Amino acid sequence: MTGTTLDDYTDRYARRVRGMTASEIRALFAVASRPEVVSLAGGAPYIAALPLDAVGEMLGRLGSEHGATTLQYGIGQGTLELRERICEVMALSGIDAACGASPEDVVVTVGGQQALDLVARLFLDPGDVVLAEGPTYVGALGVFQAAQAQVVHVPMDDDGLIPEALEAAVAELARAGRRVKFLYTIPTYQNPMGVTLSEERRERVLDICERAGLLVVEDDPYGQLGFEGDAPRPLRARRRDGVFYLSTFSKTFAPGLRVGWILAPHAVRDKLVIASEAQILCPSGYAQAAVSTYLGTMPWREQLKVYREVYRERRDAMLTALDDLMPAGTTWTNPAGGLFVWATLPDGLNSKAMMPRAIAARVAYVPGTGFYADGTGTGNMRLNFSFPSPERIREGVRRLAGVMEQDIAMRRVFGTVSRPEVRRGQAGADTPGPDLA
């Protein structure tokens, strides 16, 4: 060894490890968790809204009365009881037996993240292309990067993924001889933009993928957290073949239990189970029992209503604060559900470069660059409203607006900043067309 690197194992890593970096969000956690910092960065649900005394008693009984089974090994697919409960949950969104949803085709996973990783392991070879919304979930980008796939982003607007842009990307990649495996999409209350794919566009997107022979990986962690009526039916409720439906109990019950699932086409189910067994042998029996018991003995549908009301209040607090306090030229989305607002900065501001000054002002957010595979998004930031109280949200926005005003003032002195007048509150995103390079 020459001693030229801080990592003496650099030349021994597998090729898939090259370029592996920490996510923008994880890198923020240590700072954002300090009590003096108002964190608008993470995506943590407000667990205090749960009936914690009752949940605690339930968890205690699972250990003391049923420990001989809940603390034992289980099967790789997950318990039948939980898979049946999962089908009950999906039926609320329209994914029911009539469209082919069956406990036999559900695979329980360690959160939604393992579900993503399993799909990538089954379908992605090095060099394959994944089409994904731009911007998209940072955890998915990490999975696709580890699989040595290239992500090509398809832009969105207030109505979600733009079908014409998807069709153009598919055609351009075909002309270039590139192998596209699937579309990864979060169509409902999207992370990070908070927008929802419109009813009409859902059918068009499915038609485009069907014609192109593309699988669809539908990630739906937030679909039951709508504030303004029912969300459109999931893609999986519309098409049975070629659509993988991924979800989790992290946003509707407890992220610490790490329980998610995949509803897969029947032919793929066994391969998913084999791949999961190779990773984890079996999901936690205790965590599965906790979710099954919660769904079977507690008023979880009423709890969903509680979450919706809490998050609606906090969404409204954030939108009001943004409207009252943000500098002219700032725009943002108006989510009808979920946990996030996506903001576009006044012309010339850089969300990543501004972060140290924001932390010094004791406020945290996630720069938009974390949600693109190509470093795009410097003019955007993701703001979370699910965890802080309404008062803390307003204080965080006040601090953030102050940092932005300082940056604007500095640029007026040291360089011209063009800040076109844009109607405040209008959705916007720094989302270019697909990069096929």
**Residue where the block lists tokens 């697919």:** 77
Residue 7: is its pLDDT beyond 70? yes
Q: Look at residue 30 in the predicted model and tell me its pLDDT.
A: 66
Q: In this structure, what token pair is assigned to residue 335?
A: 């989510």
Buried b / exposed e over 230-254, threshold 16 CB at 10 Å, is: ebbbbbbbebeeebbbbbbbbbbbb
Give the pair of three-digit tokens for residue 422: 């844009």
Is the pLDDT score of 425 beyond 90? no
Q: Helix crossing, 111-123 with 266-280: angle to 10°? A: 110
Q: Look at residues 272, 261, 255, 154 and name the one whose alpha carbon lies nearest to residue 214.
A: 154
Percent of the chain with pLDDT over 90: 83
For residue 133, pLDDT beyond 80: yes
pLDDT one-digit tens code per residue, 274-332: 999 999 999 999 999 999 999 999 999 999 999 999 999 999 999 999 999 999 999 99
Cβ-count burial 264-295 (b if 16+ within 10 Å, e if not): beeebbeebbebbeeeeebbbbbbbbbbbbbb
Q: What are 235-273's pLDDT values in tens digits?
A: 999 999 999 999 999 999 999 999 999 999 989 999 999
Tokens describing residue 162: 């733009």
Amino acid 276: pLDDT: 97
What pLDDT, on the 0 to 100 scale, is given for residue 435?
34
- Listing DSSP states for 20-72 in one string gives ----HHHHHHHHHTSTTSEE-S-----GGGS-HHHHHHHHHHHHHTTHHHHTS
**pLDDT class of 436 with cuts at 50, 70, 90:** very low
Which stretches does DSSP call E strand in 328-374? 331-332, 340-344, 363-364, 366-367
Please, what is the average pLDDT of the chain?
91
Q: What pLDDT, on a 0 to 100 scale, did the predictor assign at position 15?
A: 75
Read off the amino acid at residue 157.
D
Lowest-confidence pick of 25-34, 36-45, 102-111, 359-368: 25-34
In tens, the pLDDT along 184-212 reads: 999 999 999 999 999 999 999 999 999 99
Least confident of 148-152, 373-377, 410-414: 410-414
The reported pLDDT for the residue numbered 56 is: 96
Nearest Cα neighbor of 240 from 116, 93, 85, 97 is: 97
**CB neighbours of 406 closer than 8 A, spacing ≥ 6?**
357
Q: Which two tokens stand for residue 221?
A: 């962690």
Largest CA distance in the chain: 70
Token reading at 171: 């055609």
pLDDT of the residue at 431: 38
Average pLDDT (11-17) is 76
Q: What is the arithmetic mean of pLDDT over 23-47?
A: 79
Enumerate the β-bridge partners of residue 363.
Answer: 38
> Average of pLDDT values for 353-377?
95
- Cβ-Cβ contacts under 8 Å for 292 (sequence gap 6 or more): 79, 81, 82, 85
Structure tokens belonging to residue 111? 């959160």
> From edge to edge, which strands make up the β-sheet containing 366-367?
331-332, 340-344, 380-384, 366-367
Q: Are 326 and 115 in contact (CB under 8 A)?
A: no
C-alpha to C-alpha distances, 236 to 15, 212, 225, nearest whole angstrom: 35, 18, 18
Reduced to 3 states (helix: H, G, I; strand: E, B; else coil), residue 218 is strand
pLDDT at 371: 96
**One-letter amino acid of 190:** Q
Q: Cis omega before residue 192 (within 30°)?
A: yes
Instruction: Average the pLDDT over 426-431 and give the result.
Output: 42
Cis peptide before 135 (omega within 30 of 0): yes
DSSP-assigned states of every residue in 232-298: PPPGGGT--TTEEEEEESTTTT-GGG--EEEE--HHHHHHHHHHHHHHHSS--HHHHHHHHHHHHHS
The 3-class secondary structure across 100-146, one letter per residue, is CCCHHHEEEECHHHHHHHHHHHHHCCCCCEEEEEECCCHHHHHHHHH
Distance CA 348, CA 43 (A): 27
374 burial (CB, 10 Å; 0-12 / 13-18 / 19+) is middle
Contact between 195 and 427 under an 8 Å Cβ cutoff? The reply is yes
pLDDT for the residue 5 = 62
Q: Decide if pLDDT at 1 tops 60.
A: no
Question: How do strand 129-134 and strand 243-248 relate by DSSP bridges?
Answer: unpaired
